[in-house]
Amino acid sequence: MRTALTIAGSDSGGGAGIQADLKTFTAFKVFGLSAITGLTAQNTRGVQGVELPTTDFIAAQLRAVLEDIGADAAKTGMLATGEIIRTVAAIIRDFGLRNLVVDPVMIAASGDALMQHEAAPVMREHLFPLAMVVTPNLDEASFLCERKIRTVEEMEEAARAIHTMGPRHVLIKGGHLPGEQVVDLLYDGREFIRRESQRTPGEFHGTGCTLSSAIAAGLAKGLSVREAVATAQKYVALALRTAPAVGHGRRPLNHFPEGFTPPADRA
């Protein structure tokens, strides 16, 4: 059975973080592994508290699963400090993980900070060069590029700039732009693949976590990056349209939507 590893924070509300990632892996029929990089007291309304394990314990979790089971793909989510990022990057290099999806989680959907300000340059230097795909939203891309992104043309410029930071592919998520259509751009250093989809009304959380883990699951099953991204986008669209009314804030996604068929394993 194919395996995928999430290196991310825990969401006690179950809508984001490793909880969303492991549900997504299960929906794709991939065996999910996890290394918890942070604990959040969180619900649909926001983050009430954060506790971070030591880097030694994060490293111990990673070595435990990689030495015994291994991972066909991996994704990173909440990496709150530069020290945590350096630790994770070192182990990814040591074990030669190739299919790495980096979701540069900086701020929760509620607006709560999940990364120290000084950690972003460490992520650019140490983690981006190891990534097969980086998946920033517009706020994260704006922070990484140090300029506001307001148009699709500026999304293209941001994708080019982030690609120079080392990842092989950049997926800029355009959900924060106004309009009924959501535009996502995938860039491989040569050409753009543009996908437009109908915006789903409402406020949600865990969308970025779910998309990046779905891409990782597709890569674990042997899909190309383009195929993995396209499959993940279709999965997230279904998960948004059928999101359950849980809690009193931003709705979590339905990680087991009807109509979704996971891709078959490729050789």
Query: Over the stretch 103-149, which tens digit does the pLDDT of each residue have?
Result: 998 876 666 667 777 888 999 999 999 999 999 999 899 989 988 99
Contacts of 74 (CB under 8 A, 6+ apart): 4, 5, 6, 7, 92, 97, 99, 100, 101, 216
Q: Is the dihedral of CA 176, 193, 71, 141 positive or negative?
A: negative
Contacts of 153 (CB under 8 A, 6+ apart): none
1 Cα distance to chain centroid = 22
Neighbours of 96 (CB within 10 A): 8
- 67 pLDDT band, cuts 50/70/90, is very high
Mean pLDDT check: name the lowest of 33-42, 138-147, 165-174.
138-147
Nearest to 92 by CA among 162, 145, 23, 37: 37
In the predicted structure, residue 248 carries a pLDDT above the cut 80? yes
> Across residues 141-168, what is the average pLDDT?
93
In the CATH scheme, what architecture does the domain 3-241 have? 3-Layer(aba) Sandwich (3.40)
**246/258 Cα distance (integer angstroms):** 18
Nearest to 131 by CA among 31, 215, 208, 30: 215
Q: Percent helix, strand and coil across the chain, each rounded to 5?
A: 40, 25, 40
Q: Where are the domains of the chain?
A: 3-241
Q: What is the predicted pLDDT for the residue at 28?
A: 98
Give the tokens for residue 200.
Answer: 């789903």
Containing 156, the helix (H) or strand (E) segment is helix 152-163
> Across residues 24-48, what is the average pLDDT?
96
Strands (E), the chain: 3-11, 31-43, 46-51, 73-76, 100-102, 133-134, 169-173, 181-187, 192-198
List beta partners, residue 181. 198
Contacts of 137 (CB under 8 A, 6+ apart): 172, 173, 175, 176, 208
Q: Tell me, what DSSP letter sits at residue 107? A: B
